[in-house]
């Protein structure tokens, strides 16, 4: 059975479960005692569970509009493992996480914000901090090495594997008592980070579907880091990734947007963030910064993506603040 078939089978099994009106009851963390529920916006729920050095944060639903979401804030550096089951998420640095993805990143004490599109969303984020985080990195030296080489950056993104899903089913299928919950969560986190590191260090084939997936995620990472560069072109990305333009386009073929459209979308999301957080920047300045030909071109593309003009979005943000 191929990865796609296994993934679809798992999703069909989950979808077959009872679907009550209360979205929170269909979420993984609803099975943990004292998980805190919050309606982020109409149609979108979050559950947050914290114990010892562990933070579990789940988002599920279908928002009626683009919705920002912040990870739970902490006093220490947090090592995160993310599982994107459905939909996609856009990080504030422009990094796009597609459906069925496993990824890892580190945050400091400041908030990390995600943008969630008007689509079906389901993601689970598992954070480890403090002594447990340091111990985890000590026990998985390959993971520690990867972060030392790419400090404060998101590591590679992979497909969620059968072993990952099995570990989650084991955790959320277990009976949790006052003394067993921490034990179950610790074991599951160890398995998930171990599975992720195994994929991180696995030798990659230079051909086939898996290679195209890796090219796709490497290209996303490069675009996310260089979207402010005027020289960001298909030719430049292919050259950096040491692949042909044809191969790069093939890597994007089974995804919602092509290479150029992805560059455009990341710039638009960044433009939206600047509009809402940098009131001193004019729309013309933002358009120029993001390499649109002029403010009119920026506004046209912005409305196609967000269904509002930049001016309307900025005014709407001001009204929500006041």
| 70 and 34 together in one domain | yes
Say whether pLDDT at 16 is over 60: no
| 135 and 249 together in one domain | no
Say whether pLDDT at 234 is over 90: yes
Question: What are residue 61's DSSP bridge partners?
Answer: 44, 121
| 143 and 247 together in one domain | no
| 301 and 317 together in one domain | yes
| 181 and 226 together in one domain | no
Q: What confidence score (pLDDT) does residue 10 get? A: 55
Say whether pLDDT at 61 is over 60: yes
CA–CA separation, 185 vs 172, rounded Å? 9
CA–CA separation, 142 vs 224, rounded Å? 24
The mean pLDDT of 48-66, rounded to a whole number, is 92
CA distances 148 to 106, 145, 222, Å, are 11, 5, 19
The residue assigned the tokens 């998985």 is: 140
Which residue range is the domain that position 278 belongs to?
A: 209-321
pLDDT tens column, 188-227: 999 999 999 998 887 655 446 667 888 888 888 888 888 8
Which of 173, 201, 229 corresponds to the end of one domain? Answer: 201
Question: The domain spanning residue 159 has which CATH number?
Answer: 2.60.120.10
Which of 178, 201, 224 corresponds to the end of one domain? Answer: 201
Yes or no: say if 129 and 137 are a contact pair by the CB < 8 Å rule: no
The residue assigned the tokens 């982020």 is: 40
Q: What confidence score (pLDDT) does residue 158 get? A: 86
Q: What confidence score (pLDDT) does residue 18 get? A: 41
Q: What angle do CA 29, 35, 39 make, to 5 degrees?
A: 85
Tally the domains of the chain: 2
Q: What confidence score (pLDDT) does residue 17 get? A: 45
DSSP 85-120: EES-EEETTS-EE-SSEEEEEEE-SS--EEEE-SS-
CA–CA separation, 137 vs 80, rounded Å? 12
| 141 and 83 together in one domain | yes
The mean pLDDT of the chain is 84
The residue assigned the tokens 């649109």 is: 292
pLDDT band at 125 (very low <50, low <70, confident <90, very high): very high
Lowest-pLDDT range of 11-15, 109-113, 262-266, 314-318: 11-15
| 188 and 59 together in one domain | yes
pLDDT band at 3 (very low <50, low <70, confident <90, very high): low
Yes or no: say if 105 and 234 are a contact pair by the CB < 8 Å rule: no
Say whether pLDDT at 128 is over 90: yes
CA–CA separation, 197 vs 254, rounded Å? 26
| 104 and 174 together in one domain | yes
Q: Which of the residue ranges 32-41, 80-89, 313-322 has the most confident prediction, judged by mean pLDDT?
A: 80-89
| 43 and 65 together in one domain | yes
Which of 154, 183, 201 corresponds to the end of one domain? Answer: 201
| 152 and 258 together in one domain | no
Nearest Cα neighbor of 47 from 186, 55, 82 is 55
Question: The domain spanning residue 254 has which CATH number?
Answer: 1.10.10.60
Percent of residues, the chain, with pLDDT higher than 90:
36
| 71 and 216 together in one domain | no
Q: Which two tokens stand for residue 278?
A: 């940098």
Yes or no: say if 78 and 101 are a contact pair by the CB < 8 Å rule: no
Say whether pLDDT at 14 is over 60: no
| 17 and 152 together in one domain | yes
């Amino acid at each position: 059975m191929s990865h796609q078939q296994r993934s679809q089978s798992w999703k069909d099994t989950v979808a077959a479960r009872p679907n009550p009106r209360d979205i929170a009851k269909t979420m993984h963390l609803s099975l943990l005692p004292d998980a805190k529920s919050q309606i982020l916006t109409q149609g979108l729920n979050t559950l947050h569970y914290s114990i010892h050095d562990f933070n579990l944060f789940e988002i599920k639903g279908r928002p009626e509009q683009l919705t920002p979401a912040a990870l739970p804030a902490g006093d220490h550096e947090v090592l995160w493992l993310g599982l994107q089951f459905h939909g996609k998420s856009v990080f504030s640095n422009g990094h796009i996480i597609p459906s069925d993805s496993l990824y890892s990143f580190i945050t400091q004490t400041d908030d990390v914000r995600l943008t969630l599109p008007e689509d079906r969303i389901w993601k689970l984020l598992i954070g480890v901090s403090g002594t447990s985080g340091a111990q985890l990195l000590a026990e998985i030296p390959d993971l520690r090495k990867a972060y030392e080489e790419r400090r404060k950056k998101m590591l590679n993104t992979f497909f969620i594997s059968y072993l990952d899903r099995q570990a989650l089913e084991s955790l959320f299928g277990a009976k949790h008592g006052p003394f067993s919950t921490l034990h179950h969560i610790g074991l599951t986190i160890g398995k998930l980070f171990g599975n992720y590191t195994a994929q991180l260090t696995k030798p990659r084939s230079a051909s086939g579907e898996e290679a195209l997936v890796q090219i796709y995620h490497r290209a996303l990472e490069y675009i996310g880091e260089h979207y402010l560069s005027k020289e960001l072109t298909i030719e430049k990305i292919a050259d950096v990734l040491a692949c042909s333009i044809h191969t790069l386009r093939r890597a994007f073929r089974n995804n919602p947007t092509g290479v150029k459209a992805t560059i455009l979308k990341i710039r638009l999301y960044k433009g939206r963030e600047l509009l809402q957080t940098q009131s001193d920047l004019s729309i013309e300045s933002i358009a120029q910064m993001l390499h649109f030909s002029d403010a009119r071109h920026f506004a046209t593309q912005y409305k196609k993506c967000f269904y509002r003009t930049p001016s309307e979005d900025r005014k709407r943000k001001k009204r929500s603040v006041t």
